[in-house]
Every structure is written in C-alpha cells, then in structure tokens.
Amino acid sequence: MWPFFFPAQRRLESARLLSPGFMSRSGRWRKDNTARKEKRAAATKAYQEKMEGQSGNTNAIAKGAEDYSSWSQEKLIERVTLLENELKLKNLSLTAPKSEKKSFKKPRAERTFDPSKYSTRLIALKLAYLGKRYNGFECQKSVTPLPTIEEELWKAFNKGRLIFPNITNPLQPGEVNWEGCEYSKCGRTDKGVSAFGQVIGIRVRSNRPLGKRKEKKVVDQLGNEALYDEGSGSASADKELDGGFNTYARENTVEMAAPALAPSRLPEQEGPTPDLGLSDPDFEEALNFDPIADEIPYCSLLNRLLPPDIRILAWCPAPPQDFSARFSCRERQYRYFFTQPAFMPTPTQLELPDQKGNKAPEGKMRDGWLDIEKMREAAKLFEGEHDFRNFCKVDPGKQISNFERTIFYSDIEEVDDSTSGLAFVNDAALAPRSEPQTGNPKIYTFTLHGSAFLWHQVRHMVAILFLVGQGLEKPSIVSELLDVEKNPGRPIYEMATDTPLVLWNCVFPREDDPERKDAIQWHYVGDDTGTGDYKYGTAGIMDELWNVWRERKIDEMLASTLLNVVAKQGMEAGELTLARKKGSRSQKVFDGGDMPRLQGVYTPVMNKLKMDRVEVINERYAVRKGFENSADMKLQGFRRLNNPNPVGNTPTVEDAD
C-alpha cells in the first residue's frame, strides 16, 4: 500500500511547511471548542451579574418599602403606577392567545337558491318503511317519543330542495307544513305499523324549463291596442309576497296528467285546457324535454337522504287529473303476520290444569298452536259490507256515525317460504344453488282487502281470529259482533299488537273497472333506461335493504340456533316431570306479540263488559266540548274547537265541514 499513499503523505508534509497557518482537523476542533467555552463562560457571567442586579433591585425595593411612610405623595403615585403597568404587561404575556393555524382551504360559499327559477310538477310516490322505530306515519302536533315517517320525508324533501316552504334554512326546516305542495297521503298508519305500498302525492321541483313570456293583445276603452306581458313561469307575483319560496304551479308551463280516474266526480271547469300550437314558444321545449329521462331522479335522490328503513319504491310522472292519494284510493290491502305455533308449546306431561281444575280436553289445540282452518272459517265471515263498530276504536272527536265498510277479500294464507328465505337469490340471473326447504315453524298472514278501514279496525279483527284459533271462541263470534242491532255496544277486549301489521298496497282503479285494477302508471326504481344501478348498484335500493335484512337475519339465526342448542341439551321433552304436583295454570292468550298474555280464568268475549253505544259516546263528548249535542258539533265541525267564531257571528249550514 506504501506506493499508493507515499506521494500523498509527502504532499501533506510539504503543505505544512509551505503554509504556516495550516491546521489539522483535530487542531481546528480544539480551537473552536476553546472559543465556545470562553463564550459560554462570558454568557454565564453576564447572566449572574443580571440576576445579582435584579436581586439588588428587589432588596432595594424591600428596603424602600420600609421607608414608604417617608415618601411623598407624588413619589408614591409614581411608584404605584409603575408597578401596575409592570403587572399588566406580565398578565398579557401569560394570557396571550396562541396564534391560530392558518387554513389554506377557501371558505365554502353558500349557494343562493332561487325557487322562482324552477318549474314544478305534481307526482305520486310509492314508498315502504319498517314502522317499529317510528311513531306512526302522520306528524303529530304534540311532541312524540319517536319520530314520524312524515317528519323524515319533510326533512328529505327540504334538504333535496324539492319543495320550497317559506323558510330560510332548508337543512333545518322546523315544523312540518305541506301548504302549497298539493300534498296528500293514502294511509295513516299508527305507531309501530309498517307499510310496503304507501302512496303520497306532492308537487316538487322539476328540471323542465320555465315557460317563455307571452304577449297578449289588450284593447283599452278608447280602442287602442297594446301588448300585455303575461309573464313567464317564474311566479314573479308570488316572489314579491314570499320571496319565491313556494311550490305552487308555475304559469305557462307544460305539465303531464293522465285521464281522470272518476270523470263523473270531476268539478265543472271553465273550459278545456288549450293545446300547444306550432307557433307557441313552449312547443319546441315541450318536444325537447323528456319528462322521465330528463327529469330529476326523485327516487334515488330521496333514498340517499332518507333513513335506510324508509325507501321510495316508485314514482308516477303523470298522475290522473283528479288524483288525491287519499280520496282516489278505492282499495287498501293489509297483511298481519304471525307464526305457527304462535308461542312456545308446553309438553303434555308438563301441562297444569286450569284454575277450575280441568285438564285440557283431547280435541283441544295444544297451547301455542293455532287452528288455521277455524281461523279461515271466521275470516271469511268478514267479507261483504258490514257495520264494523264492534271491530274498531271509537274516536268521539270525529263524530263518526257511519261504520259500514266493504271487505273485498279476507283469508288466512301461508307465506310461501320464498318470502322468509329470499327466493329471489335463486333466480337464474343470480346463480341459484338449491331449492328452499319448508317446515315448521311456518309463517301465516291474515290478508285483508277493503275499500276503507276504521281506526284500529284490522287489529281488532285479527285479535278475534286469534281467540278462534286458540279454541277460546267459536268462528260464529264474528257474526255475533257484526250484528250491531243485537250488540250495539262493543265488548271491551284487547286488540292485537301493532308491529306485525303491514299496509301492503294501495290501489287506485278507475270508477268503471269492476276488477279494481291499479290505473296508476308506476315507474319502479331501476326500470327506466340507464337506471339499473339505482336498484342493484352500490348504495342502490336493493343494496341498502339487503343490509337492513342481513342485520336482522343474523339476529334471527343466533336466536334460533340458541333455542335449538338449549332444546337438545339434557333429557328429551317427553321425559321431563313437574317440580310440583299441585297448582293451576293461567290461560295464555295470544295477541300477536312476542309472548302471550296470562289472563287467569278466560272470560268469553260476549260476557265481557260492553261500551256504550256510539251515539251515546258522541253525544257525551259533544256536550263536554260545549256544544248543545252531537248534531250541533257536526253542524259546526271543528271550526269552533280550533278557530272560535267572533262574538255575534252565528255559524250557518254553509259553515259546516
């Protein structure tokens, strides 16, 4: 290695000889270190001198404090002022706010929204919801423990800017007020009740361009002609009153409508609506705008804003001319779900005698099981037109005197296992694997189709059917309760629970259709061209409902598996014996809930206490509210209750609702 390094070493030594100021790396480090030490020592000395000076000042102040009595007033004031200023500076240094971090994001400016620039249209929506988490469909004036379906719809319509109530903040719309939206609803389901075919009608924002301004010739009294601007569809007159925040129909706009469902009940109009001519400025725009493909995707938009257990299923772009979701509906269909067995059966050797000491007879249904054939026999007695005052809850505030309703169909049906097993996944498009299996326990429904229903009517009807199925009543009990001349007052019996009840469908037939087929042209989610992902895509309606179903399915599977595990443990059910020989059992009465009610000795329905006749209930309520009688309350309606008439203003027949 010497031959390679020797020349370099010689060059280094020559550099040292030629450069008297040359210093090696180690020498430079020692020199720098010495300088740093000297600098540190000087700083330490200066700090000590400073501290000694401050200590001297403190001592001087302390010593001076002893002689404050000898200080002059001017000197004392000067000293106090100095100390106060020092204290303020010290406090400011301690409480100085930290500098906020600078944000490089531009503040998001709130986009101004002018409703008068948009046209509107009347549509119908079909929706479904699971009612267990809600306090019914209709919004209540009082505070409810749970939200209502209408409240959720109200928030979604406002957040999506589909309606324009006169409010300043659509994200916090406040109380529900559908004024100006032409809003109507078909069924007012109660707390806990679900719906798979609820229908509402509402006027919403549209993508259709506003109508162009039109000029109309006007001749004044002197015979002079002038052009009068009729205005566009921007609702400028309304804008002056409420800032344009309304959803009323705009002027000079084109709107689709199907033929009336009941032409005979249409009010007389001043004249037919004029058709668009070739010279009309709206004709070209009417041809260029597709009322379905170019329209706002109402269903998918609302489904993004609604809770996952409320879904919009379909929409109708052209409701009939006389459409009202409430009054145009001619058939409502309900289904009440229950299991067979209804509750946990008891092994034969473990059954106790009733409180009269009687054992269950041989032909009697075992506790928990329902006689489906007897229930079918009783259900068929509901069909036809009957007075259902003994199958409902009377609301005296409405002063209802007509309780006749028509039932088109009433039966007990076994639910095909495709419903509980989701057989649609076996469709060829979704790669079927195996056929679903059937067996006990089974699912049944009380299926009911009728023209209209009274308050809690379905739940009272199914409660009687459950008593028949348990063998506690005969099927003829239905006929006895329908005979209002013989039984004008309803026996006080418990109605069925709410959760298993579903408003299955609402039908809007034409008045001349004896088969009562639905005449509304529904466009279901995904059916329109290019919208298939709204149904089966990510975050589509099927994707969201699958998540809801799977959560509950796992709960069901865990509960059923645990039930099977416990049933297989230990001795067989037929080998078990009673822990006591004496005792009696209370009658278990099934009401559709998760567990039966213990009722002691069962009292037949016709032996229970009976309510007063409906006429007596209505009369008593009217007098308590300050009316002369029930007829007086019907004459005045609810105006006196909600909006009392001024003194001296006597209501007439025309004032009645």
Locate the domains of the chain by residue range: 112-193+200-209+244-262+280-328+521-536, 331-426+437-507+589-607, 625-655
Question: Is residue 287 predicted with pLDDT exceeding 70?
Answer: no
DSSP string, 138-163: SPPSS--SS--HHHHHHHHHHHTT-S
Which has the higher per-residue pLDDT, 118 or 248? 118
Region of poorest pLDDT, from 5-14, 404-413, 595-604: 5-14
**Euclidean distance between CA atoms 293 and 400, whole angstroms:** 46
**Euclidean distance between CA atoms 126 and 302, whole angstroms:** 12
Q: Which of 98-107, 489-498, 571-580 tops mean pLDDT? A: 489-498
**Euclidean distance between CA atoms 412 and 410, whole angstroms:** 7
Question: Is residue 222 predicted with pLDDT exceeding 90?
Answer: no
How much is the mean pLDDT over the chain?
A: 78
pLDDT average, residue stretch 373-380: 96
Which of 33, 82, 122, 51 is closest to 325 using CA atoms?
122
Phi, psi of 292 (to 5 degrees): -115, -55
Question: Is residue 34 predicted with pLDDT exceeding 50?
Answer: yes
Is the preceding peptide bond at 441 cis, omega within 30 degrees of 0? Answer: yes
Question: Is residue 315 predicted with pLDDT exceeding 80?
Answer: yes
Region of poorest pLDDT, from 70-84, 238-252, 317-331, 596-610: 238-252
pLDDT average, residue stretch 512-518: 89
Q: Which residues pair with 314 in a beta bridge?
A: 126, 524
Which has the higher per-residue pLDDT, 300 or 584? 300
Q: How far apart are the first and last CA of the chain?
A: 119
Q: Using an 8 Å Cβ cutoff, are 298 and 315 in contact? A: yes
Place 629 in a pLDDT band, splitting at 50, 70 and 90.
Answer: confident
**Euclidean distance between CA atoms 443 and 447, whole angstroms:** 13
Question: Is residue 219 predicted with pLDDT exceeding 60?
Answer: no
* pLDDT given for residue 270 in this prediction: 46
Question: Is residue 650 predicted with pLDDT exceeding 90?
Answer: no
pLDDT average, residue stretch 200-224: 70
* pLDDT given for residue 23 in this prediction: 52
Region of poorest pLDDT, from 109-113, 118-122, 320-324, 566-570: 109-113
Q: What percent of the chain has pLDDT over 90?
A: 37
Say which residue the tokens 């009153």 belong to.
241
Question: Is residue 350 predicted with pLDDT exceeding 80?
Answer: no
Region of poorest pLDDT, from 156-170, 291-305, 366-380, 472-486: 156-170
Question: Is residue 320 predicted with pLDDT exceeding 80?
Answer: yes
Express each pLDDT in 78-106 by its tens digit: 888 888 888 887 777 666 555 566 666 66
Which of 133, 124, 168 is closest to 152 using CA atoms?
133
Question: Is residue 122 predicted with pLDDT exceeding 80?
Answer: yes
What is the pTM (predicted TM-score) of this model? Answer: 0.73
**Euclidean distance between CA atoms 497 and 506, whole angstroms:** 22
* pLDDT given for residue 113 in this prediction: 72
Question: Is residue 198 predicted with pLDDT exceeding 70?
Answer: yes
Q: Using an 8 Å Cβ cutoff, are 246 and 164 in contact? A: yes
Q: Is 190 a catalytic residue?
A: yes
DSSP string, 361-416: PTTSPPTT---HHHHHHHHHTT-EEEE-GGGS---GGGT----EEEEEEEEEEEPP
Which of 475, 470, 461, 432 is closest to 590 using CA atoms?
470
Express each pLDDT in 157-192 by its tens digit: 999 999 987 666 666 767 888 888 899 999 889 999
Say which residue the tokens 């000694």 belong to.
52
Which has the higher per-residue pLDDT, 346 or 330? 330
**Euclidean distance between CA atoms 236 and 210, whole angstroms:** 12
Question: Is residue 24 predicted with pLDDT exceeding 60?
Answer: no
pLDDT average, residue stretch 273-280: 56
Q: Using an 8 Å Cβ cutoff, are 340 and 369 in contact? A: yes
pLDDT average, residue stretch 437-462: 87
* pLDDT given for residue 187 in this prediction: 87
What amino acid occupies position 284?
A: E
Identical fold, 112-193+200-209+244-262+280-328+521-536 and 331-426+437-507+589-607: yes
Q: Which of 337-351, 410-424, 508-522, 575-589 tops mean pLDDT? A: 508-522
Place 237 in a pLDDT band, splitting at 50, 70 and 90.
Answer: very low
* pLDDT given for residue 356 in this prediction: 58
Topology classification of domain 331-426+437-507+589-607: Alpha-Beta Plaits (3.30.70)
SS3 236: helix
* pLDDT given for residue 431 in this prediction: 38
* pLDDT given for residue 512 in this prediction: 86
Q: Using an 8 Å Cβ cutoff, are 395 and 464 in contact? A: no
Region of poorest pLDDT, from 368-377, 418-427, 504-513: 418-427
Question: Is residue 341 predicted with pLDDT exceeding 70?
Answer: yes
pLDDT average, residue stretch 596-606: 89
| Structural tokens at position 599 | 């009722």
pLDDT average, residue stretch 592-609: 90
Question: Is residue 289 predicted with pLDDT exceeding 80?
Answer: no
Q: What percent of the chain has pLDDT over 70?
A: 67
Place 538 in a pLDDT band, splitting at 50, 70 and 90.
Answer: confident
Within 13 Å of residue 110, how many CA atoms lie on the same side as its CB? 7
* pLDDT given for residue 244 in this prediction: 52
What CATH number should be reported for the domain whose range is 112-193+200-209+244-262+280-328+521-536?
Answer: 3.30.70.580
E runs forming strands in 526-657: 588-589, 597-598
Express each pLDDT in 38-61 by its tens digit: 777 777 777 666 656 555 555 555
Place 655 in a pLDDT band, splitting at 50, 70 and 90.
Answer: very low
Catalytic residue among 32, 67, 114, 190: 190
